[in-house]
């Protein structure tokens, strides 16, 4: 028998195992809650091996981010949409490919290593989609249209909106409470001033928090307290006068 035929596949080196483990554990627990011991345990290496390759958890975090970026670059270079000869087919294939990735990200815990990458990628897709969708569908009404995620685990998937611009659920509620839809012709006209009181906003945030799955119960409780504390010192979207004021006239979209 050829010994090579039964030889076990080579194991990744300790550094690679630590990087892979860091991405997995930090995704599940969040960066702040993850310890060096957690990462070493998941990687199956000693703390001595950890500190041989990395000076600290922060050093590993930076390296793991670069490790993920390299993996993502390889993934996109070999993605099926690159095989399409027609530019429009490549565009649609790219959007489908990104959407498949973002669908998985929707239910991931917050502060994962790839959060910044995901938000950046999502902004890129949305901006491209907004520019080209009307050209594809031939419908002006499709300008600025994109798929919105569901509310499951929304508490632990911040920051919010397609560009990650809102830090807390209170910011989100303040944004909708003032009803920007009637002042922006490309937003849904149903986004009107809601005249919600502070008590009603708190109740809505509590409802959204209740949609957190049991797997993230402890993380959800910590995140709710973090957001509540932040909301007491920073509410950049709050505009009570606009929320309770008269509804402004809706402008007409400009012709392209």
Task: Give tens-digit pLDDT for 53-66.
Answer: 999 998 998 888 88
pTM over 0.75: no
Q: How far is CA 248 from CA 119, 183, 197, in A?
A: 32, 7, 20
CB 141 within 8 A of CB 152: no
Set out the domains of the chain in order of their start, with CATH numbers: 13-74 (1.10.10.60), 79-149 (no CATH), 150-256 (no CATH)
pLDDT tens-place string over residues 206-238: 999 999 988 888 999 999 999 999 999 999 988
Does 136 have pLDDT greater than 60? no
Residue scoring higher pLDDT (12 or 135)? 12
pLDDT tens-place string over residues 89-106: 888 888 877 776 665 544
Six-digit token string for 5: 């035929």
Q: How many CB atoms lie within 10 A of CB 116?
A: 13
d(CA 16, CA 43): 9
Six-digit token string for 57: 């958890």
CB 42 within 8 A of CB 50: no
Q: Would you state the pLDDT for residue 173? A: 93
pLDDT tens-place string over residues 40-49: 999 999 999 9
Burial class (CB in 10 A: 0-12, 13-18, 19+), 220: buried
Q: Would you state the pLDDT for residue 112? A: 39
Does 107 have pLDDT greater than 50? no
Q: Would you state the pLDDT for residue 194? A: 86
d(CA 66, CA 244): 47
């Amino acid at each position: 028998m050829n010994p090579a035929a039964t030889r076990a596949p080579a194991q990744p080196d300790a550094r690679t195992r630590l990087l892979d483990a860091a991405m997995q554990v930090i995704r599940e627990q969040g960066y702040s809650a993850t310890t060096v011991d957690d990462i070493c345990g998941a990687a199956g290496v000693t703390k001595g091996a950890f500190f041989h390759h990395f000076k600290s958890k922060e050093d590993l975090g930076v390296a793991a981010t670069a490790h993920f970026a390299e993996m993502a670059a390889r993934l996109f270079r070999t993605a099926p949409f690159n095989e399409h000869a027609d530019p429009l087919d490549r565009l649609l294939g790219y959007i489908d490919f990104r959407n498949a990735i973002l669908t998985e990200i929707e239910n991931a815990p917050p502060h994962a290593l790839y959060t910044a990458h995901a938000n950046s990628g999502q902004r890129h897709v949305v901006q491209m989609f907004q520019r080209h969708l009307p050209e594809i569908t031939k419908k002006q009404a499709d300008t600025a249209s994109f798929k919105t995620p569901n509310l499951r685990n929304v508490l632990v998937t911040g920051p919010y909106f397609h560009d990650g611009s809102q830090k807390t659920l209170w910011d989100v509620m303040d944004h909708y409470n003032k009803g920007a839809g009637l002042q922006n012709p490309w937003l849904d006209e149903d986004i009107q001033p809601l005249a919600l009181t502070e008590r009603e906003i708190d109740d809505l945030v509590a409802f959204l928090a209740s949609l957190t799955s049991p797997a993230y119960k402890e993380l959800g409780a910590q995140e709710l307290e973090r957001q509540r504390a932040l909301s007491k010192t920073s509410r950049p979207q709050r505009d009570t006068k606009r929320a309770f004021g008269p509804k402004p006239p809706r402008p007409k979209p400009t012709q392209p």
